[in-house]
Structure 1
Amino acid sequence: MKMARVPYLDRENLAPENQDLLKRNINLYRTLAHSPNALRRFSGLGQFIRFDSKLDPRLRELAILQVGWLTRSKYEYSHHIKISRDFGVSDDDIRGMIAESEGRPSDLEPVIKAALRAAREMTTDLAASDATFAELAAALSTEHLTDLVITIGFYNAVVRILETMQIGVEDDYQKYLEEFPLPSD
């Protein structure tokens, strides 16, 4: 495993007014804490996506897992396997996401399949196709559709930060990679 490109910070490394940034003591935040104001804004959008967006949490988490799976981001993928379970994603849902990614059929609902396709297209082709966007627009409100696009775009940024900074997966999350391995390149 590669070492992170900058040292992980702990609460005591931060000024008192920034120590709250590490209330979630995860390597991503411990790295981004080198820029406290950026972490505060970054974490604000992440908190909106997770707790304030009206987008169906199961759909959201499967789209995030799709980004992590497709980019082979061990950190994002392992963290969101854990997080997704807290929001109602089942192991069968995760297996369905993998099947869809590999071009195999799944029992996932059409709107979930379209969201996964949008995540794949936005990750590999920069944007969702007209057909995928139209399918989602027919199934979701404009607010939900906008939140989905923001979510996919945000997590495409997150995986690029994780990989560029070479942020390592914490030991507690390794088991998720063993349970649902990423494909090898």
Structure 2
Amino acid sequence: MARLPYLEKSDLAPEHQSLLARDINLHKVLAHNPAAARAFSGLGQYLRHGTALDPRLRELAILQVGWMARSPYEWSHHVKIGYDFGVTDADIDALIAESRGETSALEPLARLVLRAAREAYAGPGIAPGTFAELAQSLDPPRLMDVVLTAAFYCAVVRVLASLEVDVEDSYRPYLEKYPLPRD
């Protein structure tokens, strides 16, 4: 159960009801502070709809952070969203293998993006060698989008964990298909 109650549109002033345009638990908790919810959503919306980065690579980076954080909410939501943007079951299996230190059949750039996301999650940031390799393959706007995606979703998983946001029933099948490891 979340540490704050889930708000509904009817709980909000009319000028804030648009914060719940997507009926998901994360938004229902963030709506307790409309200004913060809007700020938080701004970068998220850019990364989802405005990024120069290939959407499949973006989703792989997000999934990698969710996997590393053992974040049921982030993982389940982005398995579904990833499917919408070209992530395949083979990609997810490869991400899991790469997370265990195994080599996968992913193309080199996808493996590099996953490594960058793991390094960003582990901290303090993407390692110099990985960053240099990314810079060989991506122009500066796309490189910046890899950095921002990994860093923002590191923050997202911390918010989700701190607020103990529950996974909605409609996303549970993704956790059943790809359960997170138990450490």
TM-score (norm: length of structure 2): 0.99
**Aligned equivalent of 2:18, options 17, 20, 43:** 20
1:155 maps to which residue?
Answer: 153
Superposed displacement of residue 125, structure 1: 2.4
- % identical equivalent positions: 57
List per-residue Cα deviations over 1:70-105 (Å, max 9, x = no partner): 000000000000000000111100111111001111
Of 53, 57, 60 in structure 2, the residue corresponding to residue 59 of structure 1 is: 57
> Could you tell me how far 1:143 is from its partner in structure 2?
0.6
Which residue does the alignment assign to 1:122? 120
* Aligned mates of 1:57, 1:65 — CA distance in 2: 12
Over aligned residue pairs, what C-alpha RMSD do you find? 0.6
**Equivalent position to 1:41, from 39, 43, 48:** 39
Counterparts of 2:140 and 2:70, CA distance in 1: 30
So what's the TM-score if we normalise by structure 1?
0.98
| Corresponding position of 1:137 | 135
| Residue 30 (structure 1) aligns with | 28
Letter in 2 for 1:26: I
Cα distance in 2 for residues equivalent to 1:150 and 1:128: 11
Whole-angstrom distance in 1 between the partners of 2:99 and 2:21: 34
Q: How many positions carry a matched residue from both structures?
A: 183
Name the SS of the counterpart of 2:121 in structure 1.
helix
> Could you list the runs of 5+ residues in structure 2 that have no partner in the other structure?
none
2:170 corresponds in structure 1 to 172
CA–CA separation in structure 1 for the residues paired with 2:47 and 2:3: 27
1:43 Cα deviation (Å)? 1.0
Distance 2:43 2:35 in 1: 13
Q: CA deviation at 1:140?
A: 0.4
